[in-house]
């Protein structure tokens, strides 16, 4: 049996241990279950959802829809996923499951959640394998700003797999292309912006497998974001009921996808070339009245040269697009080769615009000098202020274009600096809290030292 003094000593020691543990828990609270999501510095909350309701591409050849998920795969409004995401609406559905609008109660943001079809999990492709691929997708989506951020891959209480993504507002490239071909400079800029996310996926060992205009989002600032990243690496899974063997738009299918052969990075290069062809020419390289006819053209025919459709297309772009549309994947270039050429052509297009602008100003100066050699007429005297105003307006527009790029870079630097300052303040707060807790524990130990010494002295006298 322990004596009264020994019991008091044990009780005081336990109280000290509980106090220390409680202090540490206050300083380092439990982290949310979203360790990979880091919101972009300065990013505004979106006001409109950007996830489409169906995987449909409309063009003169007609739409090629994909079957939607079955009624048993629907998630009800108000459903809570892992105690964090609350379903508030439905954004759409496709062969790869239902996409819902959800409220993240941990961060207060709205997110998009894709519930993968139950038939995706089978004997040859289990839930653990899908979650392993999902972790790679989460890591890849955080590596480039042009990829829609995949926040989490998880499993619901009833065993259904889901992916949580950031919600982004913008216009789909398919909507923009419905108005006709783009300006050559604009098309090259958008293609160069899209090639970065594709290259990032390839460097991470992933294949997107569904590059098409409806999966490309153009933001208000003109930058491009690639969507459906959460499905990279999952599109070739063989489900028991064949739901994944749906019929996606035929205009952007590569020959190896049509033959159901293994896909690779060159599959994305083929679809990227189709998108670039459509941006510059206004139509995809292969069109027909039926889906089967379009697929047959992908396998057997050579697309019409781009410069026959539009003379302004640079010859180097026409050549690399033709090479990227080769029927054999090994004959296609890597995405990095396409990027290098796009950079050269984009800079060349800017140089051409600068040279034309300079030539225009030289011509104006020559005309002004010629007019100054003779007395101006009454009509010229009246038109002179208007002409000078037009020249000043042209110069102002040119300077505004030059300042837009500098303002964008300055904004990025400011957002990065704000994020670093916030992180520094958080670390300072944690350090101050830790110092205060340690000081409190030391004071408490000092207060308890005297009773403990007295108890120890009594024990020794016994």
Query: What DSSP assignment string belongs to 107-144?
Result: T--EEEEEE--GGG-BTTB-HHHHHHHHHHHHHHHTS-
Can you give the pLDDT at residue 238?
A: 43
When mean pLDDT is compared across 4-8, 143-147, 259-263, the lowest value belongs to 4-8
Give which of 248, 191, 220 is closest to 47, Cα–Cα. 220
Give the H or E element holding residue 89.
Answer: strand 85-94
As a whole number, mean pLDDT of residues 145-155 equals: 90
- H/E element, 166: strand 161-166
Contact 192, 346 (CB under 8 A): yes
- For the cut 70, the answer to whether the pLDDT of residue 68 exceeds it is no
Q: Residue 125's pLDDT is what?
A: 56
Q: How deeply is 152 buried, as exposed, middle or buried, from its count of CB atoms within 10 A (0-12, 13-18, 19+)?
A: buried
Whole-number percent of the chain with pLDDT over 90: 34
Here the tokens at position 138 are: 């989460």
> How far is the C-alpha of 189 from the C-alpha of 381, rounded, in Å?
43
When pLDDT is averaged across residues 243-248 and rounded to a whole number, the result is 56
Please state the separation of Cα 266 from the chain's center in Å: 21
| The two three-digit tokens of residue 353, written as one number | 């615009």
Q: State yes or no: pLDDT of 387 exceeds 90.
A: no
* Residue 253 pLDDT level (bands cut at 50, 70, 90): very high
Per-residue pLDDT band for 249 (boundaries 50, 70, 90) equals: confident
In terms of C-beta density within 10 A (0-12 exposed, 13-18 middle, 19 or more buried), how is residue 80 classed?
A: middle
**Which pLDDT value is given to residue 63?**
38
Residue 367: band (very low, low, confident or very high) from pLDDT cuts 50, 70, 90:
confident
Is residue 149 pLDDT above 50, yes or no? yes
Confidence label for 60 from pLDDT (cuts 50, 70 and 90): very low
Residue 329 in this model has a pLDDT that exceeds 70? yes
- Compute the chain's Rg from CA coordinates: 31
CB-CB neighbours of 370 under 10 Å? 9
pLDDT of 38 reads 35
CA distance 33 to 282: 45
pLDDT at 301: 93
pLDDT number for residue 42: 41
Average pLDDT, the chain: 78
pLDDT at position 444 is 83
CA atoms within 13 A on the CB side of 198: 30
Residues 143-164, mean pLDDT to the nearest whole number? 88
Its pTM stands at 0.60
Q: Is the pLDDT of residue 41 over 50?
A: no
φ, ψ at 365 (rounded to 5°): -65, -40
**String of DSSP letters for 302-333:** PPPPHHHH-TTS-HHHHHHHHHHT-SSGGGSP
Return d(Cα 55, Cα 66) in angstroms, integer.
Answer: 6
Output DSSP code: residue 375.
Answer: P
Residue pair 32/84 in contact by the 8 Å Cβ criterion: yes
pLDDT of the residue at 406: 83
Average pLDDT rounded to a whole number, residues 40-53: 38
Q: Confidence band (pLDDT; 50, 70, 90) for 267?
A: very high
Is the Cβ–Cβ distance between 285 and 277 less than 8 Å?
yes
Q: Indicate whether 224 pLDDT > 90.
A: yes
405-454, pLDDT tens digit by residue?
A: 788 788 888 888 888 888 888 888 888 888 888 888 888 888 888 888 88
- When pLDDT is averaged across residues 11-28 and rounded to a whole number, the result is 58
Could you read off the pLDDT of 268-324 as tens digits, one per residue?
999 999 999 999 999 999 999 999 999 999 999 999 999 999 999 988 999 999 999
């Amino acid at each position: 049996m322990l004596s009264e003094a020994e019991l008091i000593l044990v009780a005081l020691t336990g109280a000290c241990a509980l106090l220390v543990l409680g202090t540490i828990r206050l300083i380092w609270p439990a982290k949310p279950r979203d360790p990979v999501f880091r919101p972009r510095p300065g990013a505004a909350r979106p006001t409109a959802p950007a996830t489409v309701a169906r995987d449909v591409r409309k063009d003169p050849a007609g739409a090629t829809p994909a079957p939607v998920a079955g009624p048993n795969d629907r998630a009800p409004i108000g459903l809570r996923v892992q105690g964090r995401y609350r379903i508030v609406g439905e954004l759409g559905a496709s062969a790869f499951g239902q996409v819902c609008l959800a409220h993240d109660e941990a961060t207060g943001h709205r997110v998009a959640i894709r519930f993968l079809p139950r038939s995706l999990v089978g004997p040859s492709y289990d839930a653990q394998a899908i979650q392993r691929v999902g972790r790679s997708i989460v890591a890849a989506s955080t590596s480039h700003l042009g990829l829609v951020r995949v926040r989490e891959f998880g499993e619901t209480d009833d065993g259904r797999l889901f992916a949580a993504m950031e919600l982004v507002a913008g216009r789909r490239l398919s909507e923009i292309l419905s108005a006709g071909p783009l300006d050559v400079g604009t098309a090259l800029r958008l293609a160069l912006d899209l090639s970065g996310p594709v290259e990032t996926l390839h460097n991470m060992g992933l294949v997107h497998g569904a590059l098409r205009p409806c999966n490309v989002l153009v933001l208000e600032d003109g930058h491009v974001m690639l969507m459906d990243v959460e499905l990279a690496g999952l599109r070739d899974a063989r489900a028991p009921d064949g739901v994944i063997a749906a019929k996606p738009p035929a205009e952007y299918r590569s020959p190896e996808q049509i033959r159901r052969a293994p896909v690779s990075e060159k599959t994305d290069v083929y679809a990227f070339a189709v998108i670039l062809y459509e941006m510059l020419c206004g139509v995809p390289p292969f069109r027909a009245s039926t889906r089967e006819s379009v697929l047959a053209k992908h396998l057997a025919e050579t697309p019409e040269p781009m410069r026959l459709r539009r003379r302004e297309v640079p010859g180097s772009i026409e050549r690399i697009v033709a090479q990227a549309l080769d029927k054999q994947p090994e004959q296609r270039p890597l995405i990095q080769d396409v990027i290098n050429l796009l950079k050269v052509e984009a800079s060349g297009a800017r140089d051409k615009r600068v040279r034309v602008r300079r030539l225009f100003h030289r011509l104006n100066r020559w005309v002004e000098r010629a007019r100054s050699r003779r007395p101006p007429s009454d009509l010229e005297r009246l038109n002179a202020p208007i002409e000078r105003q037009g020249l000043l307006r042209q110069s102002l527009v040119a300077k505004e274009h030059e300042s837009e790029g500098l303002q964008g870079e300055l904004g990025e630097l400011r957002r990065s600096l704000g994020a670093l300052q916030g992180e520094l303040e958080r670390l300072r707060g944690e350090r101050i809290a830790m110092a205060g807790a340690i000081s409190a524990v030391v004071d408490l130990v000092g207060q308890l030292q005297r009773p403990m010494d007295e108890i120890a002295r009594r024990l020794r006298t016994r």
